[in-house]
Structure 1
Amino acid sequence: MSLLERELKSVVMTPDNIRTRKLSLGVNIGIAVLAVLLGAVVVYGLGIGNWVLVLVVAGILYLAGLFAAASRVEGRRAARNRAWKSLIYSACVLAILPLASVVWTLISKGVERLDGDFFGTSMNNIGARDPNGGAYHAIIGTLEQVAIATLIAVPLGVLGAIYLVEYGRGRFANTVRFFVDVMTGIPSIVAGLFILAFWVLIVSPWFNDGQPRFSGFAAALALSVLMLPTIVRSTEEMLRLVPGPLREGAYALGVPQWKTILKIVVPTALPGIVTGIMLAVARAAGETAPVLLVAGGAAAINFDPFGGNQSSLALFVYQQAGDASRYAPARAWTAALTLVALVLILTIAAKMLARRNSLSR
C-alpha cells in the first residue's frame, strides 16, 4: 500500500473535518473596533500624532489581532490567507482614498463658479475687484492646442510603434527604442525650451517679418513632443500582446503584411492603443510650462492658433491660483474641474468609439 493510500485511509470523515470553522463577522468587527480604540489610546495617550496615525496604528493592530484570532479558529494556513487578503484590501482602500479626496475637493470647490459667465467670457478687462470673468479663452486654447498636438503625435507614435514591433530589427530599432525611453521621462519645461529655441526663435520669424512670435501652434508642438513617447511605448506594448497565430493565419492565406497589420493587428489592439493615446492627451492637457514658454498666455479670446498669444486651462489655473484677487481661487478651482471633466469626456468618447470595432469585442 502506497503512502498516499495510507494517508487517505487514516482520514476519518466526520462533521468536524468536513465543515471548516470560520471566523464570524461579529468577531471580525469586534477586532476592528478594539484596534481603533487601542490605536487612539496609544496615539493620543502618548501625544505623538492625530487621527491619521490612529488609523495607521489601528490597521497594524487589526491585522495582528485578526491573524491571532483566525489562527485559533481556522488554523494558521487560513489565518495567513485572511491576513494577506485584508492587507490587499487595505492597500486598495489607501490607493482609492487620495483619488476620492481629489475628486471631492474639485467638485466641492469647483461648483462655485459653474455658471454661464464663466464659460462664456474671458478675463479681458477684468480687474482684481471684479467678481466676473471666465475661462472661455482658456477652454478654446486647450481644445485647439490638444487637438493639433494629437493630430501630430498620434500618427507618428502609432506608425513608429508598428515599425518597432513588425519591422524593426537591428541597431537602428534599438536606437529608436532607447531614445523613446529617454524621452518618456523628459521634463515638460525642456520640451517647451526646445520649441522656444527652434520654432519661436528660428522658424516663426520667417513668417512674421523677422520677428519671433508666440502662438498656440508652438504650444501644440511642445505638447506633441511630450505625447509622442507615451503613445509609442503604450502602442508598442499593445501590439506585442496580439497573438502570433492571428498574424500567421493571415500570412498562410496569402494576405500581405501591411494588410495584416492594418486589418487584423491594429484593430485587435485598438482598445489598448486608445487607452495609451488618452493618457498622453490627459498629460498634454494638464501641462503648464510649455504653454507659458511658447504661447505666452492671454486674457483675451484668440481663435487663431498660428498667430498671437494664447492661453490654456492649465495655464489659467496657474495664473488664477497666484492672483491676489479674492475671486481668483474660485476661478482656479472651477477651471481645474472643467479640465478634469473635459479629459473625462474625451476618454469616454474614445472608449466608446474603440468598442464599436468588431475585432475588439
Structure 2
Amino acid sequence: MSHTAIKDTRTPVDPSDGRGSLSQRSLPRWAPTGFAAAGLAIGAGVGAGAGLSSKVQWGLIAVVAFLVISYTATTVVENRRQAKDRLATSVVWVCFVLAVIPLVSLLWTTISRGIGSLDPHFLTHSMAGVIGSDPNGGVYHAVIGTLEQVGIATVIATPIGLLTAVYLVEYGKGALARAVTFFVDVMTGIPSIVAGLFILSIMLMAKIGPSGLMGAIALSILMVPVVVRSTEEMLKLVPNELREAALALGVPKWRMILKVVLPTAIGGISTGVMLAIARIAGETAPVILLVYGSQFINMDPFNGAQSSLPFYIYEQYKIGEVEAINRAWSAALLLIAFVMILNLVARGIARWKAPKTGR
C-alpha cells in the first residue's frame, strides 16, 4: 500500500511579530501609569508653551498624548493586536475619568463651601425671625419637612410600585399588561411640575389647604414609575428554574413569589427604592406649589405649610446675602449626605436579606 505525503501548507510564524511565542516581550505593569504621567506632562508643557489659558484645553492635549503614547509604545514593544487592545482600554479609562471629574468637582465644591456653616446650631434651629444677612438660623424645620414628606411618599409609592411590577412580571398578559407598561413609561418622563399641578388642581377643587401630605402625594407620583421599572428588571433576573422548582413541590404561586422570587431579588429592589427616594428628595416644584414653604417648625405633615431641604436651598440662594448663600450650601451638603446614608442603609438591608449561599 502506498502512502501519500501530506504537504504542510501552514504559514510560518514570524518571531518578530510576537505571535505564537511564549517568551514575547511585554510592557511592565506600571506602563499605563507612566503613559498617563507622560501625557499630563506633555499637555501641561504644550498648553503653557502655547499660552492656552483654559485647563480644559490642557486636558484634551494630555488625553490625545496619552492615547498616542500608549498605542505607539505597545506597538513597538509588543505587537499591533495588543496595541489595539490597550488603546481600547485606554479610551475606556479616559471616559471613566471624564465622567468622574464633574462628580468629584461637585462634591468638593459642596463640601468646601457647605462645611463651614454645618454645626449643631444650624441643625437644631429654624429660620423663624431670622433675616437673610443674619448668621444665625438653621435648617431643622426643613429637615423635618423632608423626612416627613419623603417618608410618606415612600410608604405610598413602594407598595404600589412593587405590586405593579409583580403583576407585570408574574401575571401580566394581554391588553391590560400592555396598557400598564405604556402608562408606566409615560409617567417616567413626567416633569415634577406637572405632578404638582395635578395635585394642585385637586386641592383647588376640594378646597384643601397646603400641607406636607399634598407634597408627598405629588412626590409619590414621581416615585412610582421608578420603583416599577427597577423592581421589574430585578424580578426578570430571577432564574425561572427557581420558580419551576417551587411550583413542582406544590407551592402556590403567591407563596412562591413571596418566599422565593422576592427574597432573591430583594437586593436590587432595595437599591431601586433608594434610587427612587433619591429621585424625589431633591424635587422643589411640588413643594413650592403644594407645601408653600415655611420658616417655622411644623411637625404635622397633614396640616399647614412646611419646608424641605430643596425648597430651603432655593429660598436661601434667592435671598442673595452671603450668610444666606452659605446656609444654602450647607443645606445642599446635608441633602447629599442624606441620600448617601439612604444608599448605605439599602446596601445593608440587601446584604442582610439576600439569600444565604454556602459551598
TM-score above 0.5, yes or no: yes
Q: Aligned pair 1:245/2:241, yes or no?
A: yes
Match of 1:341 in 2: 337
Match of 2:271 in 1: 275
Superposed, 1:252-291 pairs within 5 Å as: 252-291=248-287
Alignment counterpart, residue 163 of structure 1, candidates 159, 164, 167: 167
Alignment counterpart, residue 152 of structure 1, candidates 152, 156, 159: 156
CA distance in 1 between counterparts of 2:31 and 2:123 reads 54
Q: Any idea what the Cα deviations from partners look like across 1:147-193, whole Å, max 9, x if unmatched?
A: 10000000000000000011110011101101100110111111111
Check conservation: 1:137, 1:302, Cα contact below 8 A: yes
CA distance in 2 between counterparts of 1:71 and 1:107 reads 44
In structure 1, give the amino acid aligned to 2:137: G
Distance change (3 Å), C-alpha of 1:72 and 1:168: same
In structure 2, give the amino acid aligned to 1:51: K
Q: Any idea what the Cα deviations from partners look like across 1:188-208, whole Å, max 9, x if unmatched?
A: 11111111111x2123x2xxx
Q: Secondary structure at the match of 2:319?
A: coil
State TM-score, norm by structure 2. Answer: 0.91
CA distance in 2 between counterparts of 1:2 and 1:81 reads 37
Distance change (3 Å), C-alpha of 1:159 and 1:220: same
Q: Secondary structure at the match of 2:322?
A: coil
Mark the runs of 5 or more structure 1 residues left unpaired by the alignment: 206-211
State TM-score, norm by structure 1. Answer: 0.90
Alignment counterpart, residue 293 of structure 1, candidates 265, 289, 304: 289
In structure 1, give the amino acid aligned to 2:307: S
Match of 2:97 in 1: 93
In structure 1, give the amino acid aligned to 2:106: V
Deviates more, 1:231-240 or 1:338-347: 338-347
Deviates more, 1:349-358 or 1:44-53: 44-53
Q: Any idea what the Cα deviations from partners look like across 1:42-90, whole Å, max 9, x if unmatched?
A: 5455555512111112211221222122112111001111111111111
Mark the runs of 5 or more structure 2 residues left unpaired by the alignment: none
Match of 1:189 in 2: 193
- Count matched residues: 350
Match of 2:318 in 1: 322
In structure 1, give the amino acid aligned to 2:316: Q
Q: Aligned pair 1:202/2:194, yes or no?
A: no
Check conservation: 1:217, 1:306, Cα contact below 8 A: yes
Identity %: 49
Match of 1:54 in 2: 58
Q: Any idea what the Cα deviations from partners look like across 1:200-225, whole Å, max 9, x if unmatched?
A: 2123x2xxxxxx41000000000000
Distance change (3 Å), C-alpha of 1:27 and 1:225: closer
Q: Any idea what the Cα deviations from partners look like across 1:298-328, whole Å, max 9, x if unmatched?
A: 0000011111100000110111111132211
Distance change (3 Å), C-alpha of 1:136 and 1:33: closer
CA distance in 2 between counterparts of 1:347 and 1:358 reads 16
Check conservation: 1:267, 1:360, Cα contact below 8 A: no
CA distance in 2 between counterparts of 1:324 and 1:140 reads 24
Q: Any idea what the Cα deviations from partners look like across 1:125-164, whole Å, max 9, x if unmatched?
A: 0013321000000000000000100000000000000000
In structure 1, give the amino acid aligned to 2:241: P
Q: Secondary structure at the match of 1:186?
A: coil
CA distance in 1 between counterparts of 2:267 and 2:239 reads 15
Post-superposition offset of 1:39:
3.5
Distance change (3 Å), C-alpha of 1:2 and 1:248: farther
Q: Secondary structure at the match of 1:356?
A: helix
CA distance in 2 between counterparts of 1:267 and 1:326 reads 50
Q: Aligned pair 1:79/2:75, yes or no?
A: no
CA distance in 1 between counterparts of 2:149 and 2:6 reads 75
CA distance in 1 between counterparts of 2:6 and 2:59 reads 53
